[in-house]
Amino acid sequence: MNHSNTLEADWLELFDNVPEATRGVLREVVRAHKESMADAFYARMLGDPDAHPFLTHEAVETRLRHSMQRWLETLFSCTDRAQFAVAMAIQRHVGEVHARIDLPVNIVARGARVLKAEIARHLLAAGLSGQALIDAVLYADNLMDLAFEEMSAAYVASHEHVARIDEAYRAFSFGQNLSLERERQRAALLDWENRFLHDMMTGSAGDPLPRLTESAFGLWLHHKATAIFEGAPELPAIRQAIRTIDDDLIPQCQAKLGGPERDTQRRLTKAVLSELGQLKFLLGTLFERFVELESGKDALTQLLNRRFLPAILSREADISRRQHKPFALLLLDVDHFKHINDQHGHEAGDRVLQHIASLILATVRAGDFVFRYGGEEFLALLVEVDLTHALRIAEKLRSRIESENVLLPNGASLKLTASIGVAVHDGHPDYQRLINRADEALYRAKQQGRNRCVVSDA
């Protein structure tokens, strides 16, 4: 049974063991006092030295108090599986946000204790007594624990993902050479192949044949490749190919080694080489994808790859929080890019993307970061700028794109325009919120006629 099913089963058992009348009283208590509960929660958190760096009075008043009230009402209003599923989806989202802002789990647990105490206090004043009061308090505590469990699971999964990306970014920073690693592993496979062929031709009955798992390549795959390429679709197929060779084909070869059945030996040898050929192909595909990331650059434009955007954004948000220096995002989309590809071909489209990339690099400063965000979208992270400065850079970039035609491979020139969304970091620790604001501004720029810069609403 997976985690979600276990959680739902625990909730159903909890739900069924508490009378509807008791659950109804609890539900109404939460609805009636959700504002005071949220107030008590944030009064404690704003005064907590551990939680204070993640909160501001403005954020609490304009957004977080209302979110907390909705969270309470949603969680304690569950009366069927569908509503519980919605409530748990909210817990996962909250956990992912906490992971992105690196909020310590102990702070969340501290806040949960505040809410539990507030709920118990209001239940005491709700007229419940005896077993009904005990049932209501225990139901509230257990339901909060289920919510926290789901939140924590999402936090851990998201935090581990961010940590892997951050580790990849550090590896990129220290100059890990995947191209060299690729050639080293190709050589290791060739070395094993030559040893296997030699032993098949010269071995006698009872001589051990080399196992791929125990080779230099097998050890690398088991200990290092998993860390470097975790999640890559080729890894399971490579592991399966090794199992086929070591657990199926090598024992058959071993049984026929040194015997008179030369045709059978040749057939088994070819089978091993065929499986090995497939493994080499998968390895090549695996490295091709990740070698592009090794330099941290997009292969076509030579801009930073968006894989490292979370790590860089997190660092800039931390610098901004500590040094009170704002930064901004420009999210740029080439106008009518699909039309360019359709009318002039994909080679022309590639030339356009390279042209735009060079203009962005020529416009921003050396300390800024420029990413190929995806397709015809680019993202520039402008460090230590306010809104006025960021908008000035965005408008300068938009003007340059409009005025400098791109020369196509066939010799023709093409006029371009671009739409740009601008968002300045407002102190919120979740970098995804800043990206979403820039994306919303870009959407409005395109809706308003393209070839313009639009600033995100706060």
Binned average pLDDT, 10 residues per bin, the chain of 458 residues: 74 88 92 93 90 82 89 90 88 86 86 92 87 91 91 80 60 58 90 94 90 90 73 89 96 90 92 94 84 66 84 86 90 95 89 95 88 93 94 96 90 92 91 94 96 91
On whether both 388 and 245 belong to a single domain, the answer is: no
Residue 12 maps to a domain = yes
Two tokens at 109?
């647990």
pLDDT (tens digit per residue) in 250-288? 999 999 998 888 899 999 999 999 999 999 999 998 887
Residue 430 maps to a domain = yes
**Domain ranges, residue 230:** 178-294
Q: How far apart are CA 247 and CA 237, in angstroms?
A: 15
Residue finishing a domain among 131, 152, 172: 172
What confidence score (pLDDT) does residue 181 get? 81
On whether both 396 and 348 belong to a single domain, the answer is: yes
Q: How far apart are CA 4 and CA 130, in angstroms?
A: 33
On whether both 186 and 136 belong to a single domain, the answer is: no
What confidence score (pLDDT) does residue 1 get? 45
- For residue 353, the domain's CATH number is 3.30.70.270
What confidence score (pLDDT) does residue 3 get? 66
On whether both 269 and 167 belong to a single domain, the answer is: no
| Beta strand pairing call for 304-305 and 369-374 | parallel
Q: How far apart are CA 136 and CA 134, in angstroms?
A: 6
On whether both 118 and 99 belong to a single domain, the answer is: yes
On whether both 32 and 167 belong to a single domain, the answer is: yes
What confidence score (pLDDT) does residue 305 get? 81
On whether both 156 and 285 belong to a single domain, the answer is: no
Two tokens at 12?
């159903």
On whether both 334 and 271 belong to a single domain, the answer is: no
Q: Is 338 exposed, middle or buried (0-12, 13-18, 19+ CB in 10 A)?
A: exposed
On whether both 161 and 182 belong to a single domain, the answer is: no
Task: Give me the number of domains the chain comprises.
Answer: 3
What confidence score (pLDDT) does residue 182 get? 86
Contact between residue 435 and residue 441 where contact means Cβ atoms under 8 Å apart: no
- Cα dist. 120→24, 49, 342 in Å? 15, 26, 65
Residue 299 maps to a domain = no
- For residue 126, the domain's CATH number is 1.10.490.10
Contact between residue 276 and residue 155 where contact means Cβ atoms under 8 Å apart: no
Residue finishing a domain among 153, 172, 191: 172
On whether both 158 and 186 belong to a single domain, the answer is: no
On whether both 260 and 313 belong to a single domain, the answer is: no
Q: How far apart are CA 432 and CA 314, in angstroms?
A: 10
Intra-chain end-to-end CA distance of the chain, in Å? 44
Residue finishing a domain among 268, 294, 320: 294
Residue 102 maps to a domain = yes
Q: What is the DSSP letter of 252?
A: H
Residue 157 maps to a domain = yes
What confidence score (pLDDT) does residue 175 get? 44
As a residue count, the chain comes to 458
pLDDT (tens digit per residue) in 210-260? 999 989 899 888 877 765 676 788 999 999 999 999 999 999 999 999 888
Residue 351 maps to a domain = yes
Indicate the SS3 state at residue 242: helix
Residue 158 maps to a domain = yes
On whether both 384 and 419 belong to a single domain, the answer is: yes
